[in-house]
A and B are shown apart, each in its own frame.
Chain A
Amino acid sequence: MNIVWLLLIGAAVISGAVKGHMADVSNAMFSSATTAIELAIGLVGGMTLFLGLMRVAEDAGLVRVLARALRPVFRFLFPDVPRDHPALGAIAMNFGANMLGLGDAATPFGIKAMEDLQALNPDKDTASDAMCMFVTLHSSSLQLIPVMVISLRSAAGSKNPSETIVATIFATAASMIVAIGVSRMFARWFALRPRGGAA
């Protein structure tokens, strides 16, 4: 992350200097900072709502039921998380909401999942393998029906805006397999501490 962060800023300053876009770069710094805070504030409302709902579901034992139902999948993806742990329920809610394209609901569930995973994490400053797996899976874009893309296509006058859905699902599935494989591999290569036996 350190290198990429510096690379982005370095490339920006160099390219800005070469192309004479320095004023734009400087403006972008401050407007992006403002946008970041607006985004964070914008998340608060939905987050408060869904964290409240999530607690009700937890107190009613629903999260546990969900976690249990998905146990086989989750034991494979998150071997370090104890079975029936609330984190698994939150992860299930997050994946479900993502697949249905409910982005506003998915993020709070995902954050709840991260908090539950953090409770299990021995080193609070460093990501656990389960966290890395969870976040990496998002990069494969879990959404089944890419609503945003379809609206863009139809706005551009496509004859059949939804014809790319099947291809998208296949591509997503392929990258999801890569996400799982790579996370697993890296977890072994960059293990935090030597594990006893075959992990």
Chain B
Amino acid sequence: MRELANSASNWIVPLLILAVPLYAYAVKRVRVYESFIEGAKEGFTIGVRIMPYLVAILVAIGMFRASGAMDGLVWILRPVIGWTGFPPEALPSSLMRSLSGSAAFAMSSEIFKIYGPDSFIGRLVSVIQGSTETTFYIMAVYFGAVAVRKTRYTLAASLITDFSGIVAAYGICRLLF
């Protein structure tokens, strides 16, 4: 399955880059080279526009990670989740997922090492990591690209979505594994 997924991604993009300009040129008589350059122009400006947004959020997340504040958060939440039966070992990596993908993945591999990837905790962590996102990074990149500063309810809605992903993952793992 993994091989299939990997080889599919290796094929799709090159084929897309061939097929789209070929169709555009041959069928629609688009000046593909000029058109490509025109569109590509904006690439760098967008990168620069994203920078302040990324610095703001990644610095806050970096400080949070380095300070060990996650342990405090887990300590606060541990009694709250106690009655749900959710394994507290899976809590830090799940909470980290919205903040930093690489940190969450590192914590997950740590859990795989301790409990084994085929244990209930290992499977639960796998499903959680697969069904939640690095919300803060996505918000910084997407809103940064268009220089929107007031994001209204997006963060709240996104965090609720991440949370529901964790809850759903837990429910489904309880049913299946």
Contact = CB atoms under 8 A, between A and B. Distances in A.
Contact of B153 (A55, A155, A186): A186
A49 B40 contact: yes
A132 B131 contact: no
Contacts of A56: 20-21, 24, 30, 32, 35-36, 39
Place the interface of chain B in its size category.
Answer: 35 or more
Contacts of A156: 109, 112-113, 116-117, 122
A49 B44 CA distance: 11
B134 to A, nearest CB: 9
B61 interface: yes
A37 interface: yes
Contacts of B130: 141, 143, 146, 149, 164-165, 168, 171-172
Top 6 closest pairs, chain A to chain B, by CB: A55-B39, A32-B62, A48-B43, A146-B130, A52-B40, A60-B24
A12 B60 contact: yes
Chain B interface, DSSP helix/strand/loop, else mixed = helix
A167 B172 contact: yes
B126 A127 contact: no
A189 to B, nearest CB: 8
A199 interface: no
A152 B16 CA distance: 29
B29 to A, nearest CB: 9
Contacts of A21: 66-68
A129 B5 CA distance: 34
Nearest to A136: B157
Given A140-B133, A150-B1, A178 B164 contact: yes
Contacts of A36: 51, 54-55, 57-59
Interface of B: 1-2, 5-6, 8-9, 12-13, 16-17, 20-21, 23-24, 27-28, 30, 32, 35-44, 46-48, 50-51, 54-69, 71-73, 98, 101, 105, 108-109, 112-113, 116-118, 122-123, 126-133, 135, 138-139, 141-143, 145-162, 164-165, 168-169, 172-173, 176-177
A170 to B, nearest CB: 5
19 contacts: A12-B66, A13-B67, A25-B63, A27-B66, A28-B67, A29-B59, A40-B54, A49-B43, A52-B35, A56-B30, A61-B28, A101-B9, A127-B151, A136-B158, A139-B138, A149-B105, A168-B126, A171-B131, A179-B158
Contacts of B58: 32-33, 35-36, 39
A154 to B, nearest CB: 7
B69 A178 contact: no
Given A156-B109, A164-B127, A168-B126, A175 B161 contact: yes
B67 A15 contact: yes
B152 A132 contact: yes
Contacts of B23: 60, 62
Contact of B165 (A40, A164, A171): A171
